[in-house]
A and B are shown apart, each in its own frame.
Chain A
Amino acid sequence: MAVTVRVPGPLRRLTAGAPEVQIEGATVAEALRNLDGRFPGFADRLYEPDGQLKQFVNVYRNDEDVRFASGLETALEDGDDLSIVPAVAGGR
């Protein structure tokens, strides 16, 4: 399963500036693990020590917040987009 991960500005240092990278993974968790394998540092930035996503990290699979699906266990399909977006925005 190859998916496109969209990397937000604050984390592009980890991908040498690349805004998008192709990653393999059958679930969100697996894709993020493989992302960290290829670009070490992601796990640190995205996860609490207890393995939960950090408070300010939102992950979207094809525009859907994975917290509204099965969280980190959400299944991925070939060609999916996975976006990592900081939560800090808003105010209408």
Chain B
Amino acid sequence: MSHLPPRVRALRCRACGTEVPVGPVHVCEQCFGPLEVAYDYAVVARTATRAAIEAGPMSMWRYHMLLPYEDPAPPVTLGEGMTPLVHAPRLGEVLGLRHLYIKNDSLNPTNSFKDRVVSVATSWARARGFQVLGCASTGNLANAVAAYAARAGLRGLVVIPDDLEPNKVAPTAVFAPELVRVHGTYDEVNRLCSELADSQPWGFCNINLRPFYSEGSKTLTFETVEQLGWRLPDEIIIPVASGSQFVKHHKAIEELVDLGLVPDGPRPRLTGAQALGCSPVARAFASGSDHIVPVREPRTIAKSLAIGNPSDGADVVRLARASGGVVVAVEEEQILEGMELLARAEGIFTETAGGVTVAVLKQLAEAGRWTGDETVVAYITGHGLKTVDSLSGRTELAEPIPPSLRAFRRAYPELVNPDASPWRASTG
């Protein structure tokens, strides 16, 4: 094997362009803007071919040449990525979209897209000698960090607000991280972790490891384009909390075009989805400015999207506008209906964040956004079992019956009546 020079060149500030050496830092000293991984694309181009990618593992690591991990040791992986991209004909019929696709990223090892970002962050941190892998979280990230810390043999440090539902905590606690409960909101937990990352030799995935962590999101878009047959979709619907992944999907598209992996042509519109109970980005978009007014107390069942002070919010607004996309917010009831619609039309059970995404898709379809021939992809980023409580009381359960044919006929006469059965047309 020929030796390639390093492809990760530096960290570069997305706001002012200042470059600093690669290290566990995430903030530009000049302007406090976010630091991003800067690649030497001449090096990347030598290995980033369709053939090399297709010959790679059936995980997001087939895109290793576009990720900031270059250690000879294998990455820390649980098989994240290469989740199904499924055509959604029944949901598409409801919405008037013939080419609607669902990227079902709830089928990751800990059932959310966070496994992608955490796999990169954990690999990088372990190679750099970090012994503690931490995060501030309310659920999905906690779950992923706890699992990948266990996988890597690192100490997990998960800091969470103390009012989380037990259902959210148990799937993280099983990995036995240090689980610190804080009396405060998520944004407050986040600030505490920022100050901790400044004073302890610990790697926090979404703080000082953020430049590496956030790169992992790109693979969701790389895979989608590959699974479409190396074709860019016309529009992507993306749930927005901090806005980090939204920004990275844009970067992923530009990289695919620049490397010649897809032909140069119209870029997808990038559309963001939020819950009205915490919609600082949608509000900035609607106001016509890109100034984000933080929400002090988010109130929504879509807790995985409830970031009141989204660090990448302004960039989301700018990129949505520039691409022809929008950022839209939906009501709580629409979120639940979105979850039910996706489940009933396509057999996919998503959490409230996915309900937000489907509800936004539906709202835009009903407003006449599409002619019907566009290729639209919705990113479904978390599994329904994570927020199963949100559905309690939505479906009334029937009284149990004795296990006899007679009882069945008595309880469900309309199902067995050959003339009245709602299933008549479908029985062969």
Interface on A for B, CB 8 Å cutoff? 6, 8-11, 13, 19, 45, 54-58, 60, 63, 65, 67-68, 83, 85-92
Rounded to whole Å, the gap between the CB of B427 and the closest CB of chain A is: 46
B276 within 8 A of A: no
Contact among B30, B31, B241, B296 with A91 in the assembled complex (CB-CB below 8 Å):
B241
Measured CB to CB, the closest approach of chain A to B193, in angstroms, equals 7
Which of B199, B214, B242 gathers the greatest number of chain A CB atoms within 10 Å? B242
What does DSSP make chain A's interface, helix, strand, loop or mixed? mixed
Are A10 and B27 interface neighbours, CB within 8 A?
A: yes
Chain B interface size, as a band, is: 35 or more
Chain A residue, CB-CB nearest to B290: A55
A56-B199 contact given A10-B29, A45-B32, A88-B34, CB 8 Å threshold = no
Q: Which residue of A lies closest to B30 (CB)?
A: A45
A11–B136 alpha-carbon span in the complex (Å):
22
With both beta carbons as reference points, the residue of chain A lying nearest to B204 in the complex is identified as A89
Neighbouring B residues of A56 by C-beta, 8 Å? 15, 27, 31-34, 311
Check if B141 sits within 8 Å of A92, measured CB to CB.
yes
Distance A9 CA – B191 CA, assembled complex (angstroms)? 13
**3 shortest interchain CB distances as A-B pairs:** A56-B32, A90-B242, A86-B27
- Residue among A13, A19, A92 making CB contact with B139, cutoff 8 Å: A92
Quick check: A88 and B33 within 8 Å, CB to CB?
yes
Task: Determine, out of B54-62, B85-93, B302-310, B409-417, the stretch whose residues face the partner at the interface.
Answer: B302-310
Which of B117, B195, B244 meets A6, CB within 8 Å? B195
**What is the bound-complex CA distance between A56 and B26, given in angstroms?**
12
Query: Of all chain A residues, which has the CB nearest B213?
Result: A91
